[in-house]
């Protein structure tokens, strides 16, 4: 059974930083494509960042490029999202997801499993 558990969310002031983690189990992590999505109240879930299996190719949404960094620790079966220079519009529930492929996956339907989400709130 594949499980993903996000952590690291919270309340932060604009301009601050947070690091999200996603602990995974039930699949060979180094062979898994991983991604982060977010969903703000009243909005659809949107792509944030993705990292491919094996070769670790990365992809970012334009809105977070240069501020967020996705990474993975295959020894710990954990995915990370380092979020710097946070803005009010980054407030959302952040979800990690896992799929298959050696290219970054940017479409939500292409992922197989999802975590339960962690809340990130950016205040002014």
pLDDT at 102: 86
Digitized pLDDT (tens) for each residue of the chain, 124 residues in all: 999 999 999 999 999 999 999 999 999 999 999 999 999 999 999 999 999 998 899 999 999 999 999 999 999 999 999 999 999 999 999 999 999 888 899 999 999 999 999 999 999 9
pLDDT at 111: 96
Query: Is 100 exposed, middle or buried, given 0-12, 13-18 or 19+ CB atoms closer than 10 A?
Result: middle
Give the SS3 label for residue 89.
helix
- The sign one gets for the Cα dihedral 98, 53, 28, 21 is negative
């Amino acid at each position: 059974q594949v499980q993903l558990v996000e952590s690291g969310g919270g309340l932060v002031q604009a301009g601050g930083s947070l690091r999200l983690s996603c602990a995974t189990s039930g699949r060979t992590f180094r062979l898994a494509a991983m991604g982060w999505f977010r969903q703000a109240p009243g909005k659809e879930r949107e792509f944030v960042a993705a990292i491919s299996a094996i070769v670790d190719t990365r992809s970012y949404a334009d809105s977070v490029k240069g501020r967020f960094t996705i990474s993975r620790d295959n020894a710990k079966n954990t995915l990370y999202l380092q979020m710097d220079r946070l803005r009010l519009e980054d407030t959302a529930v952040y979800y990690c997801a896992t799929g298959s492929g050696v290219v970054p996956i940017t479409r939500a339907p292409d992922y197989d499993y999802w975590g339960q989400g962690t809340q990130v709130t950016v205040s002014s």
